[in-house]
Amino acid sequence: MNYKINFNSTFANRGMGLENDINETNKYYNQYDIALIYKKPTPIRINQTDYKHMRITDGFFESPSTLDYNGVYKGKYIEFDAKETKSKTSFPINNIHKHQIEYIKKVLKQSGIVFLIVRFSSLDEDYLLNGKDLINFLSTNGRKSIPLDYFKKKCYKLEIRYAPRLDYLKIVDKYLL
Protein backbone atom coordinates (compact mmCIF):
# COMPACT_ATOMS: atom_id res chain seq x y z
CA MET A 1 0.00 0.00 0.00
CA ASN A 2 1.76 3.09 -1.23
CA TYR A 3 -0.06 6.23 -0.23
CA LYS A 4 2.43 8.86 -1.22
CA ILE A 5 0.52 11.64 -2.90
CA ASN A 6 1.91 13.21 -6.01
CA PHE A 7 0.64 16.74 -5.62
CA ASN A 8 1.35 17.66 -9.22
CA SER A 9 -0.72 14.82 -10.56
CA THR A 10 -3.31 15.53 -7.87
CA PHE A 11 -3.92 18.98 -9.22
CA ALA A 12 -3.64 17.85 -12.82
CA ASN A 13 -6.44 15.35 -12.21
CA ARG A 14 -8.94 18.04 -11.37
CA GLY A 15 -12.26 17.50 -12.98
CA MET A 16 -11.88 13.74 -13.16
CA GLY A 17 -15.01 13.41 -11.15
CA LEU A 18 -16.24 13.07 -7.65
CA GLU A 19 -14.93 9.54 -7.11
CA ASN A 20 -11.42 10.67 -7.92
CA ASP A 21 -11.70 13.64 -5.53
CA ILE A 22 -12.85 11.36 -2.74
CA ASN A 23 -10.12 8.82 -3.39
CA GLU A 24 -7.48 11.56 -3.23
CA THR A 25 -9.01 12.87 -0.03
CA ASN A 26 -8.99 9.42 1.55
CA LYS A 27 -5.36 8.91 0.55
CA TYR A 28 -4.53 12.19 2.28
CA TYR A 29 -6.42 11.16 5.44
CA ASN A 30 -4.62 7.82 5.41
CA GLN A 31 -1.19 9.32 4.79
CA TYR A 32 -1.53 11.77 7.67
CA ASP A 33 -3.18 9.25 10.04
CA ILE A 34 -6.36 11.30 10.15
CA ALA A 35 -8.71 8.49 9.24
CA LEU A 36 -8.77 5.12 7.51
CA ILE A 37 -11.46 5.12 4.85
CA TYR A 38 -11.60 2.93 1.75
CA LYS A 39 -13.74 2.35 -1.26
CA LYS A 40 -15.12 -1.16 -1.02
CA PRO A 41 -14.22 -3.49 -3.86
CA THR A 42 -17.10 -3.93 -6.29
CA PRO A 43 -18.63 -7.32 -5.60
CA ILE A 44 -18.19 -9.69 -8.52
CA ARG A 45 -20.23 -12.79 -9.24
CA ILE A 46 -17.93 -15.44 -10.63
CA ASN A 47 -19.32 -17.93 -13.11
CA GLN A 48 -16.23 -19.74 -14.27
CA THR A 49 -12.64 -20.07 -13.16
CA ASP A 50 -9.60 -21.68 -14.68
CA TYR A 51 -8.21 -23.28 -11.53
CA LYS A 52 -5.01 -24.44 -13.19
CA HIS A 53 -4.00 -20.87 -13.99
CA MET A 54 -5.85 -19.28 -11.03
CA ARG A 55 -7.86 -17.06 -13.37
CA ILE A 56 -11.43 -15.92 -13.53
CA THR A 57 -12.68 -16.62 -17.05
CA ASP A 58 -16.29 -15.51 -16.66
CA GLY A 59 -17.74 -13.08 -14.16
CA PHE A 60 -19.83 -9.96 -13.87
CA PHE A 61 -20.23 -6.96 -11.60
CA GLU A 62 -22.99 -7.12 -9.04
CA SER A 63 -24.75 -3.96 -7.92
CA PRO A 64 -23.64 -3.15 -4.37
CA SER A 65 -26.36 -3.24 -1.71
CA THR A 66 -24.40 -1.08 0.72
CA LEU A 67 -22.64 2.27 0.28
CA ASP A 68 -19.31 2.59 -1.50
CA TYR A 69 -16.99 3.89 1.19
CA ASN A 70 -16.48 2.91 4.80
CA GLY A 71 -13.91 3.19 7.52
CA VAL A 72 -12.91 4.51 10.91
CA TYR A 73 -12.46 8.06 12.20
CA LYS A 74 -11.74 8.72 15.89
CA GLY A 75 -12.99 5.24 16.71
CA LYS A 76 -16.33 5.90 15.01
CA TYR A 77 -17.76 4.00 12.08
CA ILE A 78 -18.22 6.05 8.93
CA GLU A 79 -20.01 5.02 5.76
CA PHE A 80 -20.99 7.08 2.76
CA ASP A 81 -21.67 7.15 -0.91
CA ALA A 82 -20.86 9.59 -3.71
CA LYS A 83 -23.58 10.68 -6.11
CA GLU A 84 -23.41 13.03 -9.06
CA THR A 85 -26.16 14.77 -10.94
CA LYS A 86 -26.10 17.06 -13.98
CA SER A 87 -29.36 18.66 -12.95
CA LYS A 88 -29.15 22.32 -11.94
CA THR A 89 -32.30 22.31 -9.85
CA SER A 90 -32.63 19.04 -7.93
CA PHE A 91 -31.15 15.67 -7.06
CA PRO A 92 -33.25 12.77 -8.43
CA ILE A 93 -33.93 10.25 -5.70
CA ASN A 94 -33.70 7.31 -8.11
CA ASN A 95 -29.94 7.89 -7.93
CA ILE A 96 -30.15 6.04 -4.63
CA HIS A 97 -31.04 2.35 -4.83
CA LYS A 98 -33.85 1.15 -2.59
CA HIS A 99 -31.61 -1.36 -0.81
CA GLN A 100 -29.14 1.47 -0.16
CA ILE A 101 -31.88 3.40 1.65
CA GLU A 102 -32.66 0.36 3.79
CA TYR A 103 -28.98 -0.01 4.47
CA ILE A 104 -28.64 3.64 5.57
CA LYS A 105 -31.42 3.03 8.10
CA LYS A 106 -29.53 0.03 9.43
CA VAL A 107 -26.30 1.99 9.87
CA LEU A 108 -28.23 4.74 11.68
CA LYS A 109 -29.70 2.11 14.02
CA GLN A 110 -26.13 1.10 14.89
CA SER A 111 -25.26 4.76 15.58
CA GLY A 112 -22.87 4.80 12.65
CA ILE A 113 -22.09 8.05 10.84
CA VAL A 114 -23.67 7.78 7.41
CA PHE A 115 -24.15 10.32 4.65
CA LEU A 116 -24.10 11.05 0.94
CA ILE A 117 -21.76 13.39 -0.86
CA VAL A 118 -23.82 14.89 -3.67
CA ARG A 119 -22.21 16.76 -6.55
CA PHE A 120 -24.21 19.08 -8.76
CA SER A 121 -21.66 18.85 -11.54
CA SER A 122 -23.21 21.54 -13.76
CA LEU A 123 -23.07 23.97 -10.84
CA ASP A 124 -19.70 22.91 -9.43
CA GLU A 125 -21.33 22.50 -6.02
CA ASP A 126 -20.84 19.65 -3.54
CA TYR A 127 -22.98 18.98 -0.49
CA LEU A 128 -22.88 16.56 2.38
CA LEU A 129 -26.35 15.18 2.98
CA ASN A 130 -26.66 13.55 6.39
CA GLY A 131 -28.28 10.08 6.34
CA LYS A 132 -30.77 11.04 9.02
CA ASP A 133 -31.92 14.09 7.01
CA LEU A 134 -32.25 11.96 3.89
CA ILE A 135 -34.46 9.42 5.68
CA ASN A 136 -36.55 12.25 7.14
CA PHE A 137 -36.96 13.85 3.73
CA LEU A 138 -38.05 10.56 2.16
CA SER A 139 -40.57 9.81 4.89
CA THR A 140 -42.18 13.26 4.82
CA ASN A 141 -42.12 13.94 1.07
CA GLY A 142 -43.73 12.29 -1.88
CA ARG A 143 -41.21 14.01 -4.17
CA LYS A 144 -39.08 12.20 -6.69
CA SER A 145 -36.19 14.57 -6.24
CA ILE A 146 -34.61 16.71 -3.57
CA PRO A 147 -34.56 20.38 -4.62
CA LEU A 148 -31.27 22.26 -4.69
CA ASP A 149 -32.84 24.69 -2.27
CA TYR A 150 -33.09 21.91 0.32
CA PHE A 151 -29.34 21.30 -0.04
CA LYS A 152 -28.62 25.01 0.34
CA LYS A 153 -30.69 25.23 3.51
CA LYS A 154 -30.28 21.86 5.22
CA CYS A 155 -27.01 20.35 3.99
CA TYR A 156 -23.35 21.18 4.41
CA LYS A 157 -21.45 22.70 1.53
CA LEU A 158 -18.07 21.19 0.71
CA GLU A 159 -15.30 23.21 -0.88
CA ILE A 160 -12.68 21.86 -3.28
CA ARG A 161 -9.23 22.64 -1.92
CA TYR A 162 -5.63 21.82 -2.65
CA ALA A 163 -5.24 19.09 -0.02
CA PRO A 164 -7.23 17.40 1.27
CA ARG A 165 -9.27 17.86 -1.86
CA LEU A 166 -12.74 17.50 -0.38
CA ASP A 167 -12.40 17.77 3.38
CA TYR A 168 -15.65 16.09 4.37
CA LEU A 169 -14.32 15.12 7.82
CA LYS A 170 -14.39 18.80 8.76
CA ILE A 171 -18.16 18.61 8.43
CA VAL A 172 -18.28 15.30 10.28
CA ASP A 173 -16.29 16.86 13.10
CA LYS A 174 -18.48 19.93 13.34
CA TYR A 175 -21.94 18.47 12.90
CA LEU A 176 -22.07 14.69 12.91
CA LEU A 177 -19.81 13.48 15.73
* Maximum pairwise Cα distance, the chain: 58
73 lies in the binding site for its own copies (CB under 8 A): yes
Binds its own copies by CB under 8 A, chosen from 12, 72, 123, 160: 72
Interaction between residue 142 and its own copies (CB under 8 A) = no
Residue 98 touches its own copies, criterion: CB under 8 A = no
Region from 34-42, 116-124, 129-137, 165-173 binding its own copies, contact rule CB under 8 A: 34-42
3-state secondary structure of 11: helix
Binder among 15, 17, 43, 92 for its own copies (CB under 8 A)? 43
Number of residues located near its own copies, criterion CB under 8 A? 40
**Rule CB under 8 A: is residue 36 a binding residue for its own copies?**
yes
- As a whole number of angstroms, the distance between CA 24 and CA 164 comes to 7
Burial grade of 114 (CB within 10 A; 0-12, 13-18, 19 or more): buried
Residues 156-175 that bind its own copies (CB under 8 A): none
Pick from 14, 40, 88, 161 the residue near its own copies by CB under 8 A. 40
Quick check: 65 binds its own copies (CB under 8 A)?
A: yes
Q: Which one, 70 or 85, has the nearer CB to its own copies?
A: 70
41 makes contact with its own copies (CB under 8 A): yes
Rounded CA gap, 9 and 6, in Å? 6
Choose which of 21, 23, 35, 117 interacts with its own copies (CB under 8 A).
Answer: 35
| Torsion sign across C-alpha atoms 147, 149, 150, 156 | positive
Strands 69-73 and 113-120: unpaired
Candidates 7, 38, 157, 173: give the one binding its own copies (CB under 8 A): 38
* Full DSSP string of 103-116: HHHHHHHTT-EEEE
Q: Which is nearer to its own copies, 146 or 172 (CB)?
A: 172
Q: Which residues of 151-161 are buried (b: 16+ CB within 10 A; e: fewer)?
A: beeebbebeee
